[in-house]
Amino acid sequence: MSGGKKRILYIVSGILGGVLAFAGIELLFFLNSPGYFLFTLLQGAVVGAALGLSLGVVDDIAYSRLKLGIIRGSVSGLLTAVISAGVMVLAAQLYLLLAGAADAVRFDSFAGAPAGDSSLQSPEFLSLVSRSAGWMLIGMASGAVSGFRRGSSRRFWAGILGGALGGLIGGVVLELLLRSAEGGLSAMTARLSGFLILGAVLGFALGEFERRLSFARLRVLTGANKNREYLLSGRETAIGSHMNAGVYLGDYEKILPRHALVVRNGEDMILKSDAGDVRINDGGLEGSSILKYQDVIQLGQAKLLLLQP
Query: CA 243, CA 65: separation in Å to the nearest integer?
Result: 8
pLDDT higher at 274 or 192: 192
Q: What does the CA dihedral 277, 283, 286, 287 come to, rounded to 10 degrees?
A: -80
Tell me, yes or no, if the pTM score tops 0.75: yes
Residue 182 backbone dihedrals phi, psi, to 5 degrees: -105, 0
- The confidence score (pLDDT) of residue 87 equals 85
- In this prediction, residues 117-121 reach a mean pLDDT of 53
Beta strand pairing call for 302-307 and 283-284:
unpaired
Whether residue 174 contacts residue 201, with contact meaning beta carbons closer than 8 Å, is answered with: no
Helix (H) or strand (E) holding 250, with range, is none
- CATH T-level topology, domain 216-307: Tumour Suppressor Smad4 (2.60.200)
Strand partners, 262: 237, 271
Q: Give the type of residue at 192.
A: L
Q: 43 burial class (0-12, 13-18, 19+ CB within 10 angstroms)? A: buried
Query: CA 119, CA 142: separation in Å to the nearest integer?
Result: 32
Whether residue 75 contacts residue 106, with contact meaning beta carbons closer than 8 Å, is answered with: no
- The confidence score (pLDDT) of residue 105 equals 40
- The confidence score (pLDDT) of residue 209 equals 92
- The confidence score (pLDDT) of residue 117 equals 47
Domain ranges for the chain: 3-213, 216-307
Query: CA 122, CA 95: separation in Å to the nearest integer?
Result: 11
Whether residue 206 contacts residue 52, with contact meaning beta carbons closer than 8 Å, is answered with: no
Per cent of the chain over pLDDT 90 is 28
pLDDT higher at 215 or 12: 12
Model confidence over 32-67: pLDDT tens digits?
766 777 888 888 899 999 999 998 888 878 777 777
Residue 56: name the closest of 83, 41, 78, 23 by CA: 78
- The confidence score (pLDDT) of residue 100 equals 64
Model confidence over 57-104: pLDDT tens digits?
888 787 777 777 788 888 888 988 988 888 888 887 777 776 665 444
